[in-house]
Amino acid sequence: MGLFQLLIRRCLQLVPILIGISIVVFALVRLTPGDPARLLVGPRVAEEVLVEIRQRYGLDQPLPIQYARYVGQLIIGDLGHSFRYKIPVSQLIFNHLPPTLFLVCYAIVLTLIPTLILATVAARRQGQWPDHVIRVIGVAGMTMPVFWLGIMMSRLFGVSLGWFPVSGYGEGFVDHLHHLFLPAVSTAIWVTPILVRNLRSALLEEMDSDYVLAARSKGLPEGYIFRRHILGNSLLPTLHLLGVLVAYLLGGTVIVETVYAVPGLGQLMINSVLARDYFVIQGLTLYFALATVLVTFAVDVATAAIDPRVKL
C-alpha cells in the first residue's frame, strides 16, 4: 500500500475522534451548573434579556439541535465570544498562540541534547553508578511540581542573581529567548527524564540485537558500532514519543505560563477558568485537543514515511 493510501485511511480514522471531541467540548459547557444564557451575558441581567438570548442562540431548542448548531458554527470557525475580553474566542486564541508555540519549541530544543547524552551514558554504563544517578535524578525531575520548580528558579536566577527576567515575553527574538529561558528549562526538566528512560531502553534493546553481535564479531570498535548502528535505530521510537509529548507540553505550559506570567494560551486558560469565561475554556479545550490529534497524526505519518516497516 502506498503512502498516499495510508494517509487517506489514517485521515478517515480521524473523523470519529473529531466528532467525539466536539461532543465532549459541547457537553463541558452544557453540563455546567447554571443557566447557559447567563454564561453568555454575565450574571446581572433582566429576565427579558435572558429570554431573548435563549431564543437568539437557540438555547430553548433540544440538545441535539443545539449540538448541530454548535458544530455548524465550528465549521465556519466561530468559537463564540469571550464575555471578559469582548472579542471572538478564535481571535483571542490566535493572539495568545505565539508565546506558547515559542515556549514549546524552545523547551524541545533544550531537551534534545541532554536527552541524547544522558541516555547514551545510562545505556553504555548500564547497572553502574552513572546509570543509577541518572535514574534517580530523572525520577526527581518527573515528580517535581513544575510550579514549585518555577518559583524556586525565578527566585534564584531571577531575583537573587538577576540573570533572567521572571515574567513576560519580551520584544523580538533574542528578548524572547531571554525571557522564556527559565520557563523553557522548567518544562525541559520535566520532559527530559521521560525521553531519557525511553531512549535508554531502546538503546539497550538494540545493543542486544544480532546485527550488533555481527558487527562486533567483524572486529568493529564499540564506539563506531554505537554511533553508526545502534543510535540510528533507537532514535525513531524516541522521536515518536517526542511527538506524543508535544501534546503533554501544550498541557504543561498551562502551569509554567502562570508561574512566569507568560501571556500565552496556558495563562489564558487559567485566567478564563478563574473568571468563569466558559466559551474561552471551551474554545481552548477544543484547540488543545485538535493540536494533540494533529501532532499525533503528523508524527505517525512521518514515522511511516521514514521507516518502511511501520504500518499505520
List of residues contacting other proteins (CB under 8 A): 16-17, 20-21, 24, 28-29, 31-33, 126-127, 135-136, 139-140, 142-149, 151-152, 154-155, 159, 194, 197-202, 204, 241, 244-245, 247-248, 250-252, 254-255, 258, 269-270, 272-274, 276, 278, 281-282, 284-285, 288-289, 292-293
Q: Can you give the C-alpha Rg of the chain in angstroms?
A: 24
**Residue 20 or residue 232: which is nearer to other proteins going by CB?**
20
To the nearest whole angstrom, how small is the minimum distance from the Cβ of residue 26 to other proteins?
A: 12
What is the Cα 137 distance to its own chain's centre? 23
To the nearest whole angstrom, how small is the minimum distance from the Cβ of residue 171 to other proteins?
A: 25
Exposure of 191 in the CB half-sphere (CA atoms within 13 A): 34
To the nearest whole angstrom, how small is the minimum distance from the Cβ of residue 218 to other proteins?
A: 26
**Residue 176 or residue 256: which is nearer to other proteins going by CB?**
256
| DSSP codes, 62-130 | -HHHHHHHHHHHHHTT---B-TTT-SBHHHHHHHHHHHHHHHHHHHHHHHHHHHHHHHHHHHHTTTSHH
**Residue 132 or residue 228: which is nearer to other proteins going by CB?**
132
84: which 3 cell numbers?
471578559
To the nearest whole angstrom, how small is the minimum distance from the Cβ of residue 11 to other proteins?
A: 15
- The type of residue at 164 is F
**Residue 215 or residue 238: which is nearer to other proteins going by CB?**
238
3-state secondary structure 195-235: HHHHHHHHHHHHHCCHHHHHHHHCCCCHHHHHHHHHHHHHH
To the nearest whole angstrom, how small is the minimum distance from the Cβ of residue 288 to other proteins?
A: 5
Distance CA 280, CA 169 (A): 22
To the nearest whole angstrom, how small is the minimum distance from the Cβ of residue 187 to other proteins?
A: 13
**Residue 94 or residue 148: which is nearer to other proteins going by CB?**
148
Distance CA 196, CA 193 (A): 5
**CA-based nearest residue to 252, from 90, 103, 118, 91:** 103
**Residue 58 or residue 251: which is nearer to other proteins going by CB?**
251
